[in-house]
Amino acid sequence: MSNTNGTIGSKPEFVVVTDSGADIPRSYQDEFGIRVVPLTVRMGNQEFADGVDLTIEEFWQRVRQGDVLPQTSQPGPADFERVYGPLVEQGYSVLSVHLSGELSGTVQSARLAAQYFPPRRIRVVDSRSASIGIGMLAIHAARLALSGVPCEDAEALIGKLVGEVRAFFTVESLDWLRRNGRIGRAKAFLGAILNVKPVLHLEDGVVAPVEQVRSREKSLRRIVDLAEQAASGRPVQIGIVHGDSPAEAEELLEKARAAMNVSGAIVTPLGPTIGSHTGPGTIGLLLMPAGGGR
């Protein structure tokens, strides 16, 4: 591993850019200097830039009130250009980490925008993940930047980590994923007459089924079991995301800590971008090797 001992405090060579699908809490964005390009959320006739003129709290409040199905649209290349431009002018390279290309065209917009800049100044990574799965990758990338790792090496390291991020989750109703066309292979679980809870995961960037269980409680336990198997004893960084059910998220965190060697945890509500597709009552446990597996 070369060049990991850059001088702390010196100016990092690159800046990390991501999108609002990464669900990175504001405090982390500030601490690590991560730039977030918002997706657009449409509710009825109104449009919002996620995290800019629509907060997470407002979003969930509106979802609870109305029966309107929120929809999202990806940022265009121009939106990325506006973020990349000033950074490049200031002499930075950019590592741009985004929503799974299987779930959104966001990463394509980023790639198109990158073509307007000199070669290798903007490096775009498809996270093959969503929500805090991207978030953990982006935060790790920012740590690498702060420790002086060049952008090229960071891209390679993050590229390797992409395959190691796992995401297990359950939703209150598969309808949200279905109506927005993100149901993926979990389509097999549609149409169940029984009152069952789907346990899902992201596989190659696509929503995929694990199994169906009889209760919410069992689905949470199953999610922890699956994460524990995936961790197989190694220390892990975890993220817990929820569709506006903080108490359950705390409960899940407790269970996860009991089951695994958790070196760090981020608990955060799902923002409008992901929440629009999964609906309320979604809860997920995402993990990756602690310290990027080094």
Closer to other proteins at the Cβ: 33 or 85? 85
**Between residue 88 and residue 107, which ones bind other proteins under the rule CB under 8 A?**
101-102, 104-105
**Is residue 27 a contact residue for other proteins (CB under 8 A)?**
no
**Is residue 271 a contact residue for other proteins (CB under 8 A)?**
no
Only segment of 25-33, 133-141, 152-160, 213-221 that touches other proteins (CB under 8 A):
213-221
**Is residue 173 a contact residue for other proteins (CB under 8 A)?**
no
Alpha carbon 123 to its chain centroid, in Å, reads: 18
How far apart CA 133 and CA 228 sit, in angstroms, is: 16
**Is residue 267 a contact residue for other proteins (CB under 8 A)?**
no
Task: Tell me the residue type at 83.
Answer: V
Closer to other proteins at the Cβ: 25 or 101? 101
Token output for 272 = 């409008």
| Residue of 188, 254, 258, 263 interacting with other proteins (CB under 8 A) | 188
Shortest distance, position 222 Cβ to other proteins, whole Å: 10
Shortest distance, position 61 Cβ to other proteins, whole Å: 21
Shortest distance, position 234 Cβ to other proteins, whole Å: 18
Residues 209, 210, 213, 216, Cα dihedral to 10°: -80
With 0-12 CB in 10 A as exposed, 13-18 as middle and 19+ as buried, what is 64?
exposed
Question: Given the rule CB under 8 A, which residues bind other proteins?
Answer: 39, 42, 71-74, 76-77, 101-102, 104-105, 108-109, 111-112, 180-185, 187-188, 191-196, 203-206, 208-209, 211-215, 217-218
